[in-house]
Each structure stands twice: as C-alpha cells, then as structure tokens.
Amino acid sequence: MDKFIIEGPTPLKGTIPISGSKNAALPLMAAAILGNSPTTIKNVPKLRDIYTFNNVIRVTGTHVNFDEEESTLTIDPANLAHLEAPYELVRKMRASFYMLGALLGKFGQAKVSLPGGCAWGPRPVDLHLEGMRKMGADIKLDEGYVIARAPKMMEGGTFKLEPSSVGATINLVLASVLRVKEFTIKNAAKEPDVVLLCKRLVEMGADIEGIGTSTLTVRAVDSLDGISTRNAADRIETGTFMIAAAMHPESEVTLTNVDVDDLGEFPDTFRKVGAEVEIGEDSVYVKAPAKLSPTSIKTEIYPGFPTDLQAQWATMMTQAEGKSSVTDTIYYDRFSYVPEITRLGANMEVEENTVHIEGKTPLKGASVMSTDLRASVSLVLAGMVAEGKTDVLRIYHLDRGYEDLEEKLTNVGARIRRTQQEE
C-alpha cells in the first residue's frame, strides 16, 4: 500500500494541465454499449475507477481498448451477450451501477450488484429503481443484486427526483433512450456530466428534450450509433488546484486544458478569498493573496458550490485570517477529513452538516489517514502548507480520481514523494 511523504511549506509556481473528468467519462462509457457500432472517447484519464469500469464492461463480452498514451478509449459492444455486472467489481465503485440503465435500456434485462464505493454517507439507489419502475420496468432485489426486466417498449410517464441526483438522472436516461415511448424526469440534475451525456446520446441518435434544464423528456428511438467524441476536462481537479494555489502567499499557477464553462459559480466564489483569478478560453490563472479572507460556503447543486470541493475549501480556510464555515447540503456525513486536518494543528469543529473553522492556524506535519477521494486530496493540500514532514496514508483513494497528482504538483514546486506504506 502506497503513501505520500510531503515536505512543506512550498509555494506553487508554473503550469498544470487538467486531465479528463472521471465523473464525465464513466457515463459516456456506459452509453457506448447502447450503440450498434464502436464508440471512441478521447481525453480519458488513467485512473483506478476507469480501469475498474473497463473491466465491468468487459465482463459483458464488450471489447474495450484503452490507449493510455493517447488517453483514448474505444468500446465495441458487438459481442455484448452477458447481461450482468458482478459484485466483485461493482463493489469497488458506485458508478458501475450505470450498467443497470445501459443493459436494461439496450436488452430489456439486467442483473447488477448493488454498488460500493466511498465509505461515507448514505447514497441510496432507491431513486434509480423507483424511476425505472415508473417507466414500466420490473425491478426485484435478490441476494444483493438488482434483477431488472422490461418489455420491448415501455409506456413511461413522469418521475420527479427528490432530491435531484446526478447518478439517478444518468441511469434513467440510459434506461429510457431505446425502450420508453416517452419518459419525463422532473428535477433532473443539470451538472455538466449530465449535459455532456445527453448531448453525446443525441449525437448517437437519441431523442432527448430539455438538455441543460431540470426537466428532461426522453422518447425512444429504434437504434443508436457509436460516435467519436471528447471527454470533458475535470472541473473538480481544476477547483482543487485553484485552491492549492491560493493556500501559499507566494503561489502563482496557470491551469491549462480547462473547460471553463463547466466551472459554474465557483470562480466568483473563489475570488472572495482575495486571490487574483483570470479566466481564459481554456485556462485559469491564479495568484495567491498575501492574506486569505475567511469565506463561508454552502454546497449546492450545479451551478452552485460543488460538494466535491468542500473538503478542499475547508482546508484552505484553516489558513484564512478569521472564522468561516463550510456546510454540505448534499451529503451530511462528508467530514471524515476534519479529525485528520486537526492532527496537523487546524482549529475545526463539526456540528451536524457544518464544519466551523477558526484561522489562521499554523499547520505542522504528522501522519494522517485518507478515508475517501476528496478527503485524501485535502490532506495533500494541508501537507503542502504544513511545516515539516506529513505522511498521507492510504492514497489509493487518490488514485481513483486524480491522474498523476504528485507529478503535476511536483512539477510546480511541491515536494511530494510516493513510497510504500509500512504495515
């Protein structure tokens, strides 16, 4: 098992290229099996979750070729015959559950394990199953598996997502594009990952109305064709590196290969901390302020503040001059990083779904333990401004969602080294 050894504090100076988005790529990969010909997806990151989902898809008989040098993935569903996604793979990653919608949509049947993934918070799949029942599918649970069946054409209807859910929106769209006369999703997620999926499905031949709004209406088409397309840049990686740049007063970083239109309201919120920010056509320049201003945030559905950036923001606020708070309205149990950051010297206290932070506190290196993907990267950010040596353990979480993290940060001045963790 690997760990990071980080020597701080270090300013960051230089250019960081942003990788393709894992969260956008996974739905596109699921959509590829709906086509009648191969689909090629460019700008796919080399991440553990991508490799896991490749294997989930391969189990069905689909041919998957990942050209890592070119960051290009080709998926050919011509020999897809095994309509199952097994527990030993699905348990590793929640997004594998997209196979339910894709297999049900294309073949009218599927057997998919209930998902695993990050070890925090209740993220039930009830909405996915209720929506599929509403469109006319027969859904049963059997020994940890979802068994789904549907007639050649389902009547459909209207289903309201309460609350709005990216995963459920994606799964319901995948299930309906080939198999439902007309299905309307109310309170649909509007995140860039959902918009990208719907646009690419339309390129494949799907009939989807209301893309980019909270009401999506899907009408079945006879077939879909494979396409060649580009995956989106990772907006969460972009935000993470913006925060990293702001945390040391001498940092100055340019992020390249950015899909700036996907950042929503984040740049405007970020400017409130005092950082200088310039948004280019596909780049973001950040110059850290001499002093960080305390700025409280609440997570919201897109285009509001992303829940996937709240741990990083709270970590940044430990270096701001004054009191601030971070409230997560999406997931109420996403604060496992707080005890670890306090081990480094932060003054943080969790109250229900809010962490209260009092800064500025000097951080001092220590050993800290990763518990999930975004918590892990917040520990790296803290380690880069802490005095001395910080060991970040269990970094396999990071390998799920950040491509070449230590290389990208080391190239702009960080001192990070990957090594074996002693048992």
Q: Is 398 helix (H, G, I), strand (E, B) or coil?
A: helix
Q: Which is nearest to 361 in space by CA: 349, 375, 369? A: 349
3-state secondary structure of 377: helix
Is 343 marked as binding a ligand?
A: no
**What Å distances lie between residue 218 and 136, 156, 180, 183, 382, CA to CA?**
14, 9, 8, 5, 45
Catalytic residue among 25, 89, 103, 118: 118
Per the CB < 8 A criterion, the answer to whether 16 and 256 are in contact is yes
412 near 253, Cβ under 8 Å? yes
Question: Annotation-wise, does 22 bind a ligand?
Answer: yes
HEC-encoded secondary structure of 63-106: EEEEECCCCEEEEEHHHCCCCEECHHHHCCCHHHHHHHHHHHHH
Comparing C-alpha atoms, which of 81, 46, 82 is closest to residue 66? 46
Residue 107's H or E segment, with its range, is helix 98-107
308 annotated to a ligand binding site: yes
Residue 125 assigned to a binding site: yes
How many CB atoms lie under 10 A from the CB of residue 65?
A: 12
Cis peptide before 303, with omega less than 30 degrees from 0? yes
- The phi, psi pair for 24, rounded to 5°, reads -85, -35
Active-site residue, 118 included: yes
Helix (H, G, I), strand (E, B) or coil at 393: strand
Question: Is 94 annotated for ligand binding?
Answer: yes
**What is the C-alpha separation between 389 and 200, in angstroms, rounded?**
46
288 closest CA partner among 416, 384, 375, 380: 384
Which residue in this structure is represented by tokens 């606020």? 317
**Residue pointed to by tokens 């998957």:** 64
* Annotated binding-site residue? 362: no
**Would you say 123 is a known binding-site residue?**
yes
Binding residues: 22-23, 94, 123-127, 308, 330
**Catalytic amino acids?**
118
Binding residues for UDP-N-acetyl-alpha-D-glucosamine: 94, 123-127, 308, 330
